Amino acid sequence: MVSLTTRTGEQDGTGAWRRAARMARTAVAWLGLLLAAGPALSEDGYELWLRYVPVAADHAAGYRARATELVVPAATPTAQATRDELQRGLGGLLGKPPPLAARAGREGAILVGTPASLPQLVALGLDLSGLGEEGYLLRSVRIDGRPATVVAANTDTGALYGAFRLLRLVQTAQPLDGLDIREAPRLKLRLLNHWDNLDRYVERGYAGESIWDWHKLPGWKDPRYTDYARANASIGINGTVLNNVNTSAQALTPLYLRKAAALAEVFRPYGIKVYLSARFSAPIEIGGLETADPLDPAVRQWWKDKAAEIYRIIPGFGGFLVKANSEGQPGPQDYGRSHADGANMLAEALAPHGGIVMWRAFVYSHEEPDDRHKQAYNEFVPHDGSFAPNVLVQVKNGAIDFQPREPFHPLFGAMPKTPLMMEFQITKEYLGFATHLAYLAPLYEETLRADTYAQGPGSTVARVIDGSLDGHVLTGMAGVANIGSDRNWSGSHFDQANWFAFGRLAWNPDLESAAIAGDWVRMTFSNDPAVVEPVVAMMMGAREAVVDYMTPLGLHHLMGRGHHYGPGPWVSGGPRADWTSVYYHRADAQGIGFDRSASGSNAVAQYVPPVAGRFGNVDTVPEEFLLWFHHVPWDHRMASGRTLWDELVLRYGRGVDYVRGMRRTWDGLSGKIDAERHAQVAAFLAIQEDEAQWWRDASIAYFQTFSKRPLPAGAEPPPHPLSYYQSLEFPYAPGDGK
């Protein structure tokens, strides 16, 4: 790990100390030169995108001239964190941190603060209206005739975000001249959802244990929690749900509330609120009541008392996330009540304290539906307009479950009177766990840009969730975190990019994935175009490759049972048909795919007519959703002129080829990336190639038993019989629900 510690503002006045300090500075300068010269030192990924390694030598003088002194008041913990970050960041990037000053007095000063904290800002007459509580202004100005850079905001948190933006400019080799950047987040809640259990097991986690060391909290606050907060603040994330949605009620006991309070204390200076998943039956399990019926007065009082207790222990607590009546979790339907009844009861308890409820739409009824795709819509749309004002309904991007590709969830656009919050998955439960390189921003972007047509063309999902379509002010986006105790946080170096991209898109859902990837590569690896260009290109196609080798042309939910590792298109039987693969692909002698058109389950009718019409017609449905919405004959002619069967086989192979291409690209970057990270990525890509091949071979071997057609010319037959793939077992594959 690269870690340069510089001592600032500390002198004992002795000659010995000055000599030692001179030597240390020389050593640091040499180290800086070494780092600037090339990626000689290994890195373990702990620093994420906040590495702050020295800028290229030919840029250093220019930046130093624009960072001659730092005017950053530190009267509050947030302002102190801002100052610390700027000193640390600019210190690393420029070799030493600019000196601190109380007022800008030199050419090239950087001023960061609010009109209240920095009187010099007031004199500049900056227009901070419209920036709200989290926005910032970054501008090149003149103060007493001298050029300076200001980061101004209405609040300390806005200034912190602006400071990270300034650092990002330097990290990505952008000029600091002529700046005029105004930014405010488009979404109010930008949250991580940790699926972390209190025993540190992470459901669908592929990066080690939970980073929350519950047992040692609240006494031991691991410094890593501060680094977590820094990383999140740097991308604008302002809240975190600490515990799994499949939660035990223990999380709401005073013992655990005090632990959560310790985390909240660490995160507060970074503008991050703590939220908890609440188990609906907690009044029974930890409250001694006999029921959790949301209309029972004693239950309502229990939640009110619990909320008051939580706010006493965790000042500024954010609110509850709830998974109810889904996959065996308790909920209001256990008492014949609706989701709205349940959510509103909790909302009533939290409202006096300013808290919110995020009620998940990922629901299952006890009865097996004719099509799981339709379930959330059927259960929620009738309640549009009946949720309390401090409730958001949190909807997964698609109607099934975080598949490599899904059409947008039909709830988007269908509940105009209710704030809908987006739930994306950052952890790659269905996209190869930690070892497959799959940059998810294109998936997020595809959903956000999808047009619901709810109010005519241009009614994109992004406009549903940012509130502009239906006039909501409570807005948000949640990402199921991919963070764990692994040294590199996310289980793989490239999975850090998905955390980064999620935060950036939650701040501004209109950003482009390629631009986000560009920033991330520059901050994480190098500004060298010989690195940036190939790595961004490789990332941009990576998710499509996963779609190709796992679930091409709209196929979905074909993975191994339970752990979801590897191919399992043959999975059938068990407790529920809609937990099997055969339910979703419906392959038979005639063809393959789930008929959701009017002749089938008619799930398409849940979309607005222009969308329903397009998806519901086999001739107009986009090919990437063909088998999602239609059962299609094996000999159906595709746009390419090939038959469906040939196209399917070709797509599987195309996915594997893409991974081979990524390996070549990455091998070519040896020497341009530090050895430690290069080697791990290379090893993971090799695993990915093997597993992509496995997915392709197993899927083709299985589907050929239905199509009974030969493979198209040039396609290699699977090396093993189907029975071999079906016999593979992975008893300890990580992340399975417990």
| Residues noted as catalytic | 327, 401, 429
- Whether 85 and 167 have beta carbons less than 8 Å apart is answered as yes
- Please say whether the dihedral angle defined by the alpha carbons of residues 617, 623, 626 and 629, taken in this order, is positive or negative: negative
CA atoms within 13 A on the CB side of 157: 22
Closest to ligand GCV by CB, 93 vs 558, is 558
Instruction: Provide, rounded to whole angstroms, the least separation between the CB of residue 193 and ligand GCV.
Output: 9
Q: In this complex, which beta carbon is closest to ligand GCV, that of residue 328 or of residue 717?
A: 328
Among residues 79, 93, 7, the alpha carbon closest in space to that of 49 is found at 93
Instruction: Specify which residues 423 forms β-bridges with.
Output: 396, 478
Shortest CB 390 distance to ligand GCV, Å: 22
Closer CB to ligand GCV, residue 235 or residue 361? 361
Strand-pair category, 136-143 with 180-183: antiparallel
Least distance in Å: CB of 323 to ligand GCV?
5
Please name the residue ranges forming H helices in 38-124. 57-65, 77-94, 119-124
CB-wise, 201 or 311, nearer to ligand GCV? 201
Nearer to ligand GCV, 105 or 737 (CB): 737
Q: Which residues pair with 166 in a beta bridge?
A: none
For ligand GCV, the nearest residue by Cβ is 737
Strands 239-241 and 189-193: parallel
| d(C-alpha 87, C-alpha 70), whole Å | 8
- From 83, 194, 230, 323, residue interacting with ligand GCV (rule: CB under 6 A): 323
Q: Quote the tokens at residue 183.
A: 């930014």
Question: What is the rounded distance in angstroms from the CA atom of residue 299 to the CA atom of residue 321?
Answer: 18
Q: Which is nearer to ligand GCV, 282 or 324 (CB)?
A: 324
Do residues 113 and 79 lie in contact, with contact meaning Cβ atoms separated by under 8 Å? Answer: yes
Rounded least distance, CB 190 to ligand GCV, Å: 19
158: Cβ contacts below 8 Å, ≥ 6 apart: 114, 131, 132, 133, 134, 135, 136
Q: How many CA atoms lie less than 13 Å away from 627 in the CB half-sphere?
A: 26
- Note whether 196 and 205 are within 8 A (CB): yes
CB nearer to ligand GCV: give 394 or 475.
394
Closest contact distance (angstroms) between CB of 554 and ligand GCV is 20
Using CB under 6 A as the criterion, what x/- string covers residues 353-392 for binding ligand GCV?
Answer: ---------x------------------------------
Which CB atom, from 183 or from 334, has the smaller least distance to ligand GCV?
A: 334
Tell me phi and psi for residue 398, to 5 degrees: -130, 170
Among residues 245, 392, 587, 656, which is the contact residue for ligand GCV, using CB under 6 A? 245
Alpha-carbon distances, residue 250 vs 216, 275, 277, 317 (angstroms): 16, 15, 11, 17
Q: Are 236 and 187 in contact (CB under 8 A)?
A: no
| In the block, residue with structure tokens 């191919």 | 567
Interface positions, 709-738, toward ligand GCV (CB under 6 A): 737
Nearer to ligand GCV, 362 or 652 (CB): 362
In the complex, minimum distance from the CB of residue 583 to ligand GCV, in angstroms, rounded to a whole number: 14
Nearer to ligand GCV, 227 or 368 (CB): 368
| Min dist. Cβ of residue 629 to ligand GCV (A) | 22
How near is the Cβ of 433 to ligand GCV at its closest, in Å?
Answer: 13
| Cα–Cα dist 481/506, whole Å | 14
Q: Which helix (H) or strand (E) holds 160?
A: helix 156-171
Q: Scanning residues 178 to 237, which ones bind ligand GCV (CB under 6 A)?
A: 195, 203-204
What's the min distance (Å) between Cβ of 436 and ligand GCV?
17
The residue among 309 and 401 lying less far from ligand GCV, judged by its C-beta, is 401
Could you tell me how many residues of this chain bind ligand GCV (CB under 6 A)? 11
Among 6, 172, 226, 246, binds ligand GCV (CB under 6 A): 246
User: Exposed/middle/buried for 4, CB within 10 Å: 0-12, 13-18, 19+?
Assistant: middle
| 440 near ligand GCV (CB under 6 A) | no
Q: How far apart are CA 589 and CA 609, in angstroms?
A: 32
Between the alpha carbon of residue 256 and those of residues 147, 215, 263, 274, the distances in Å are: 51, 9, 11, 13
**Helix spans in 95-145 (H):** 119-124
Q: Which of 222, 348, 401, 578 is in the footprint of ligand GCV by CB under 6 A? A: 401
Rounded CA separation 435/497 (Å): 14
Q: And the tokens for 542?
A: 């990576």
**Listed residue (329, 238, 320) closest to 292, CA to CA:** 329
Q: Name the minimum Å distance from CB 326 to ligand GCV.
A: 6
Nearest distance in Å: CB 731, ligand GCV: 17
Binding site for ligand GCV (CB under 6 A): 195, 203-204, 245-246, 323, 327, 362, 401, 429, 737
